[in-house]
Amino acid sequence: MSASASITKPSNAKRFVLAARPVGFPQESDFRLEEAPLPDLQPGQILLKTLWLSVDPYMRGRISGIKSYAAPVEIGGTMVGGAVGEVVESRFDGLQPGDVVEAYSGWQEYAVMDGKQARKLDPSLAPVQTALGVLGMPGLTAYFGLIDICAPKAGETVVVSGAAGAVGSIVGQIAKALGCRVVGVAGEDDKIEWLVKECGFDAAFNYKKVTDYRAEFQKLCPGGVDCYFDNVGGPITDGLWPLLNVHARVCICGQISQYNNTQVEMGPRNLGQLIVSRAKVQGMLVSDYAPRFAEGLKALAGWLREGKIQWRETVVEGFENTPKAFLQLLRGANTGKMLVKA
């Protein structure tokens, strides 16, 4: 990366701040592009130039203003998010200009941050933006949610909703690598084709073209469902619920069908079915597994090397299009990881 090592620190840099709390589906105007001077580095800090930005479904929760597992972004505050950046200046011993890192540096063109909070990447091992996808938070979410909560055994049936997304596509492929029957749910025909033809899913269906989800799951999962990795929630989950086998395991990773509701949606009360199935339903958050990230990355890298995991990315060009990319993600426009190339 010798060419980029010559980047010099600009006096001002752009960033997106939260302009308004979205009501319902977010709009571009909920974010505002600002330009601000870059502070001088303090000891231990680094200056990053953002190369890639990650947009993810969890960000919808961060801008809602509701207390959740993490503090909300305040109005006027810089939008949070993962990124891959190049070190431009460093007062941190472990990093040099030209190094490429993954960091939770937010929607900023340039970011000043503690060097110890950045993870140095080896660009010779994999394209650096995979640190935001299969070899980053989404891959680790897939790994720990599936391995730790669903704990599938060879021969079992695993269903994944949001199956063509950054997390879902990895979940399904890990489950295939473990010898499971894998059924995916996604929202576009070309996603279904990708899942079945390239990712090795045994079956998948386009939920926008199916009205009776329960009947579709019955058709595609004749032996019932042992594991359900849910990114979506709502009527898809309702349809799957009666198919849960005895002692089935459900990982609630996301509920994207609900994120833009202006009021709580009503659905059938079906907790009683858990008594019939004695199923376990567990919410998961990847940060709980931080002490085991090395284990997860090693396993994911191994499956990548063996060709057992395919990955795709949907790239939006230009830092200033970050809010647009985020809205496209919420609409399901991506196959695989949604990224912004800054």
> Does residue 299 bind its own copies (CB under 8 A)?
no
Torsion of CA 84, 89, 91, 95, to 10 degrees: 50
Q: How far is the CB of 208 from its own copies (least distance, A)?
A: 20
Q: Which of 3, 154, 264, 290 binds its own copies (CB under 8 A)?
A: 264
> Does residue 283 bind its own copies (CB under 8 A)?
yes
> Does residue 212 bind its own copies (CB under 8 A)?
no
> Does residue 234 bind its own copies (CB under 8 A)?
yes
CA neighbor of 95 nearest in space, from 134, 133, 41, 148:
41
The encoded tokens of residue 259 equal 């994120």
Q: How far is the CB of 40 from its own copies (least distance, A)?
A: 38
Q: Which of 177, 203, 274, 333 binds its own copies (CB under 8 A)?
A: 274
Of residues 59-98, which lie at the interface with its own copies (CB under 8 A)?
68-69
With contact defined as beta carbons under 8 Å apart, do 116 and 46 qualify?
no
What is the number of other CB atoms lying within 10 angstroms of the CB of residue 23?
11
Q: Which of 7, 203, 210, 281 binds its own copies (CB under 8 A)?
A: 281
| Residue 109 CA, distance from chain mean position | 21
CA distance linking residue 30 with residue 277, whole number of Å? 43
| Residue 301 CA, distance from chain mean position | 17
CA neighbor of 37 nearest in space, from 7, 4, 8, 15:
15
> Does residue 294 bind its own copies (CB under 8 A)?
no
By beta-carbon proximity to its own copies, the closer residue of 44 and 283 is 283
By beta-carbon proximity to its own copies, the closer residue of 259 and 319 is 259
Point out which span in 151-159, 185-193, 246-254, 324-332 binds its own copies (CB under 8 A): 246-254
Query: What would you report as the CA-atom Rg of the chain, rounded to the nearest whole angstrom?
Result: 21
Point out which span in 198-206, 221-229, 249-257, 301-309 binds its own copies (CB under 8 A): 249-257
CA distance linking residue 191 with residue 184, whole number of Å? 10
> Does residue 3 bind its own copies (CB under 8 A)?
no
With contact defined as beta carbons under 8 Å apart, do 279 and 302 qualify?
no
> Does residue 203 bind its own copies (CB under 8 A)?
no
Chain residues binding its own copies by CB under 8 A are 68-69, 230, 233-234, 237, 246, 252-255, 258, 264-285, 288
